[in-house]
Homo-oligomer: A and B are copies of this chain.
Amino acid sequence: MPFLENIEYDHLLEEFKSVLRKNSLKFTKQRETILKTLYNFPGHFLPEEFYNLIKKNEPNSNIGIATIYRTLNLLEESEIVTALSFGKNGKKYELANKPHHDHIICKNCGLILEFEDKSIEKRQKEIAQQNGFELTNHIMQLYGICPKCKRKKIGI
């Protein structure tokens, strides 16, 4: 049970519990399993991928797909997970407790890299202000061809 000794995870768990309390929601086995899985599997998952991941790794949990959708929505609203939406697919979810970052995505193989850039963030804030907006968050995705696919000379 490495989780019980993991400060980072414990912190996350407390944050989630706090959100639940504030909204008079309940802390359930399913919600805990979902959070734990998000923590243990860094990456970007569609709800369905997530569902399968949990079925495989927590065979006894028996979580319904509806609960996956419900919980991911809840976690997104609480800003504990971030949703990425691109391409033909629906939204992909990832834990938001890491420092903010954006994504570079390979149009050929779907590889996703993460990066962050303070100078861009700063400009974004300025631009929002210039337009009278109060900036809450942003999405930035760079698309291109990754080194591997470039070598393979695969066009799009």
In the bound assembly, the distance between CA atoms of A138 and B138 in angstroms comes to: 13
A100 at the interface (CB under 8 A from B): no
Q: How many copies of this chain are found per oligomer?
A: 2
Q: Is the CB of B139 within 8 A of A143?
A: yes
Partner of A138, one of B119, B128, B143: B143
A78 at the interface (CB under 8 A from B): no
A6 at the interface (CB under 8 A from B): no
In the bound assembly, the distance between CA atoms of A117 and B125 in angstroms comes to: 12
Q: Is the CB of A144 within 8 A of B139?
A: no
Q: Is the CB of B117 within 8 A of A123?
A: yes
Residues of B within 8 A of A138 (CB): 140-143
Residues of B within 8 A of A123 (CB): 117, 119-120
